[in-house]
């Protein structure tokens, strides 16, 4: 009888794992009384990402899906989406109740209903638990902040489209003050409001991208610096932008600010769209970086905000990648980086501070004189129709010869080359945290890789004398180590 029940359960799983746009009637206790819709492309790999997408006031899930273009991105880049939808019985304007105490705290109300939707997707589809993201507009943006604060162990990153900080309002009476940007606190007060949701949490909080129109009269741009205070403080960063990019990606309306933690990783970034009102920015068209449709709260600003949110989530499948050494010695000259040449394309390259492009700018290959600073080599491709692809990035680590070791042990991972066995071992102490292990040759060529490692991984008899790079993820952070075989 047990086996018959198992077969029935498995068949039920197959039937429930529907593709396309699906209304899900039962996904848990649903204490927030929300509706759930999901979208699954017809064919996805195992362990695909999941994006939670939340509409704004007066909108429906299907309307926001259409205007934001998230389902088209899901088709193109192979991930799932799930759409919580508000009931008019909960809020006459169909706003998520991000300001209600019973809906903005962990384990309660609407926040718990949305968490149950994520749980449902994980049960019925093959989803990578380390790549679950959340985004939303207006009340959905405020609820995005709620979800990141309440469930940091579930969500990796979030994209806030015209939102207000977590706990900027705690009742319907105080919501207007928050929306109009009248609520200000110190960074530590904002950060404490997030930390108090999970006092024992010791993991990494979600990284955050904030998108905002400068002429928004519904949710004030004053909320951007307050959110920057909140999430930089949570990540132990300051509130001074480490990188300011005006005319972002050639669009004079967009300014991007990036905020780094002490490890020089971007933990918060903001995109301000000059002159835009309350809504999302779209860029209708068929180019790689275009998408979305115009609507009451969707404006054509030649900037597809959903695309750049997905770019921030690191779930886009780039049509090409940069070739070149991912590990170089300081002060090396003439290091070449390239992408496949496309007829009629122009190529705009950028390099980290301290590196110099000595030839090739505008072409598909550049030669770089290296300084002492690690960072991204980036290129943007533009075709004859002005369609852009990029920036495409390749992280390059600049090293000195003195910091290469035969044996490295850190972050629960030990790398060791046994000369007698001619075998490189990758040993993991904490199996749950080690993901995406890749072994590179010094020229950037991939030798082998594993999605996860089971106690130990090893490579026999294929490595010759030289320097190799082992890259892996631990607690969602990329780590790169060198090993020398002599």
Tell me, letter by letter, the H, E, C secondary structure of 61-111: HHHHHHHHCHHHHHHHHCCEEEEEECCCCCCCCCCCCCCCCCCCCCCCHHH
Q: What is the CATH number of domain 404-485?
A: 2.60.40.3080
- What's the distance, CA 277 to chain centroid? 25
pLDDT of residue 405: 39
Q: How many CA atoms lie within 13 A of 271 on its CB side?
A: 29
Return all residues near 311 (Cβ < 8 A) that are at least 6 apart.
none
- Reported confidence tier of residue 366, pLDDT bands at 50, 70, 90: very high
Pick the closest to residue 437 from 478, 398, 395 (CA basis).
Answer: 478
pLDDT of residue 6: 40
Enumerate the β-bridge partners of residue 425. Answer: 416, 458
Query: Does residue 391 have a cis peptide bond before it, meaning omega lies within 30 degrees of 0?
Result: yes
Distance of alpha carbon 90 from alpha carbon 97, whole angstroms: 8
Return all residues near 473 (Cβ < 8 A) that are at least 6 apart.
130, 434, 435, 436, 479
Strands 335-338 and 346-350: unpaired
pLDDT of residue 14: 39
Return all residues near 314 (Cβ < 8 A) that are at least 6 apart.
none
Q: Is the pLDDT of residue 82 over 60?
A: yes
* Tens digit of each residue's pLDDT (9 = 90 or more) over 253-271: 999 999 999 888 899 999 9
Distance of alpha carbon 162 from alpha carbon 211, whole angstroms: 6
- Multiple choice CATH, 16-313, 3.40.50.1820, 3.40.50.300, 3.50.50.60, 3.40.190.10: 3.40.50.1820
For range 461-484, the mean pLDDT = 67
| Percentage of the chain exceeding pLDDT 70 | 82
Q: Is the pLDDT of residue 17 over 90?
A: no
C-alpha distances out from residue 122 to 129, 246, 426, Å: 8, 39, 29
Distance of alpha carbon 471 from alpha carbon 450, whole angstroms: 10
Q: Is the pLDDT of residue 482 over 60?
A: yes
Q: Residue 391: helix, strand or coil by DSSP? A: strand
* Tens digit of each residue's pLDDT (9 = 90 or more) over 142-168: 999 999 999 999 999 999 999 999 999
Distance of alpha carbon 227 from alpha carbon 210, whole angstroms: 8
**Gap between the terminal Cα atoms of the chain:** 61
Q: Is the pLDDT of residue 315 over 70?
A: yes
* Tens digit of each residue's pLDDT (9 = 90 or more) over 418-431: 655 566 666 665 55
For range 90-117, the mean pLDDT = 98
**Residues 401, 329 contacting (CB under 8 angstroms):** yes
pLDDT of residue 476: 60
Distance of alpha carbon 222 from alpha carbon 166, whole angstroms: 14
Strands (E), 301-383: 327-329, 335-338, 346-350, 356-359, 365-369, 375-382
**Residues 453, 481 contacting (CB under 8 angstroms):** no
pLDDT of residue 437: 75
Give me the sign of the Cα torsion angle 3, 5, 9, 14.
positive
pLDDT of residue 296: 96
Q: Is the pLDDT of residue 1 over 90?
A: no
C-beta atoms surrounding 212 within 10 Å = 26
Q: Is the pLDDT of residue 468 over 50?
A: yes
Catalytic positions: 138
pLDDT of residue 335: 95
- Reported confidence tier of residue 18, pLDDT bands at 50, 70, 90: confident
Domain residue ranges of the chain, discontinuous segments joined by +: 16-313, 327-401, 404-485
Distance of alpha carbon 356 from alpha carbon 469, whole angstroms: 24
* Tens digit of each residue's pLDDT (9 = 90 or more) over 41-77: 998 999 999 999 999 999 999 999 999 999 999 999 9
Q: Is the pLDDT of residue 470 over 80?
A: no
Helix axes 187-195, 223-234, angle to 10 degrees: 60
For range 183-197, the mean pLDDT = 98
Distance of alpha carbon 308 from alpha carbon 321, whole angstroms: 18
Same fold, 327-401 and 404-485: yes
For range 181-204, the mean pLDDT = 97
Distance of alpha carbon 103 from alpha carbon 222, whole angstroms: 24
- Multiple choice CATH, 327-401, 3.30.420, 1.20.120, 1.10.3470, 2.60.40: 2.60.40
pLDDT of residue 486: 60
């Amino acid at each position: 009888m047990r086996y018959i029940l198992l077969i029935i359960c498995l068949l039920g799983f197959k039937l429930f794992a529907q593709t396309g746009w699906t209304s899900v009637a039962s996904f848990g206790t649903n204490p927030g009384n929300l509706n759930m819709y999901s979208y699954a492309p017809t064919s996805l790999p195992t362990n695909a990402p999941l994006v939670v997408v939340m509409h704004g006031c007066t909108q429906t899930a299907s309307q926001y899906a259409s205007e934001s273009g998230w389902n088209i991105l899901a088709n193109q880049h192979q991930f799932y989406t799930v759409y919580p939808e508000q009931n008019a019985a909960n809020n006459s304007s169909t706003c998520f109740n991000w300001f209600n105490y019973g809906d903005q705290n962990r384990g309660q109300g609407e926040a718990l209903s949305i968490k149950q939707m994520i749980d449902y997707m994980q049960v019925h589809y093959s989803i990578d638990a380390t790549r679950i993201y959340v985004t939303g507009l207006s009340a959905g943006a405020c609820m995005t902040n709620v979800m990141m604060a309440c469930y940091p162990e579930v969500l990796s990153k979030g994209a806030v489209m015209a939102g207000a900080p977590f706990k900027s309002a705690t009742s319907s009476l105080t919501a207007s003050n928050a929306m109009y940007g009248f609520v200000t606190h110190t960074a530590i007060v904002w950060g404490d409001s997030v930390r108090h949701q999970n006092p024992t949490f010791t993991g990494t909080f979600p990284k955050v991208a904030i998108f905002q129109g400068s002429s928004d009269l519904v949710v004030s741009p004053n909320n951007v610096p307050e959110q920057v205070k909140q999430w930089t403080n949570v990540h132990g960063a300051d509130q001074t932008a480490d990188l300011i990019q005006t005319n972002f990606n050639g669009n004079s309306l967009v300014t991007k600010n990036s905020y780094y933690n002490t490890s020089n990783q971007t933990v918060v970034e903001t995109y301000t769209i000059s002159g835009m009102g309350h809504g999302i920015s779209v860029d209708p068209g068929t180019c790689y970086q275009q998408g979305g449709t115009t609507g009451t709260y969707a404006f054509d600003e030649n900037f597809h905000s959903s695309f750049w949110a997905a770019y921030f989530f690191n779930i886009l499948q780039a049509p090409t990648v940069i070739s070149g050494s991912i590990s170089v010695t300081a002060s090396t000259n003439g290091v070449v980086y390239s992408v496949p040449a496309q007829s009629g394309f122009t190529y705009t390259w950028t390099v980290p501070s301290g590196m110099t492009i000595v030839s090739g700018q505008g072409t598909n290959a550049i030669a770089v004189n290296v300084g002492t600073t690690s960072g991204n080599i980036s290129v943007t491709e533009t075709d004859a129709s002005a369609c852009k692809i990029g920036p495409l990035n390749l992280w390059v680590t600049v090293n000195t010869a003195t910091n290469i070791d035969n044996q490295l042990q850190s972050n629960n991972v030990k790398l060791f080359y046994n000369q007698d066995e001619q075998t490189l071992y990758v040993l993991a102490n904490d199996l749950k945290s080690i993901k995406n292990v890749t072994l590179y040759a010094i020229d950037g060529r991939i030798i082998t890789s594993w999605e996860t490692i089971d106690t130990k991984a090893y490579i026999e008899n294929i490595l010759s004398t030289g320097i190799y790079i082992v890259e892996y993820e631990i607690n969602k952070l990329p780590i790169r180590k060198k090993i020398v075989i002599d």
